[in-house]
Amino acid sequence: MKIVALVSLTTILVVASFATLGFASDPSPLQDFCVAVNDAQSAVFVNGKVCKNPNMVVAEDFLFRGLNKPGNTSNPLGSRVTPVNVNQLPGLNTLGISAVRIDYAPNGLNPPHTHPRATEILVVIEGTLYVGFVTSNPANPALKNKLFTKYLYPGDVFVFPEGLIHFQFNVGKTNAVAFAGLSSQNPSVITIANAVFGSDPPINPAVLTKAFQVEKNVIDYLQKQFWWNID
């Protein structure tokens, strides 16, 4: 009887371990909701945000208005991301999900970037987008990172796996609009060019010259540019 119980307990623990590995980046909530409070009001730092007193929670904590409004694409990249994550919608805290609206002018680009903590699923509402993502470094050093691309039209859906570099480019002659869901309350974004060439303080040019196998004047030029954030 004790052996059966031990085997059952071991099975449960193994299943639970695999289930934990299968979770998204965000942990599952331990209550119905945990509305975030402003960090400035928090007495402690936590992995996420401190919960608001449930007795003080109101319907507005779960509401965001404005995704019907186009974002301003008047910038060199010709695009704008309107995020709805836990910083804009506190009711998302601990729920492991967020959303964005992305507007693109003709030839507008959401440049190569990653979301370290989230998978992204994108649906096109208007326009034609050329989208893609690049795989992580292959185990065989003789192989190259693989690029997956598609042209998307209204109603098409495309998924970008968690952490992989991806982009969207409006190849149409009219404005384009897409909405996306992300599997984290705070997916974060790392725009590759901004991070590499626009960091503060700058990365030592000797590092980048070696990494990109170019002359120092190329790196100097790139580091002098103003790198736009579109969200």
DSSP code, position 161: -
Residue 179 pairs with which residues in a beta bridge?
Answer: 101, 123
- Measure the CA–CA gap between 201 and 224, rounded to whole angstroms: 12
Does the annotation place 166 within a ligand binding site?
A: yes
Say which residues have a Cβ less than 8 Å from residue 201's Cβ, sequence separation at least 6: none
- Measure the CA–CA gap between 150 and 130, rounded to whole angstroms: 6
Does the annotation place 120 within a ligand binding site?
A: yes
Does the annotation place 126 within a ligand binding site?
A: no
* Single-letter amino acid code for the residue at 180: A
- Measure the CA–CA gap between 76 and 206, rounded to whole angstroms: 28
What token pair was written down for 103? 């507007």
Does the annotation place 113 within a ligand binding site?
A: yes
- Measure the CA–CA gap between 32 and 54, rounded to whole angstroms: 10
Q: Which residues are annotated as a binding site for oxalate?
A: 110, 115, 120
Binding-site residues, in ranges, read 110, 113, 115, 120, 166
Which residues sit in the known binding site for Mn(2+)? 113, 115, 120, 166
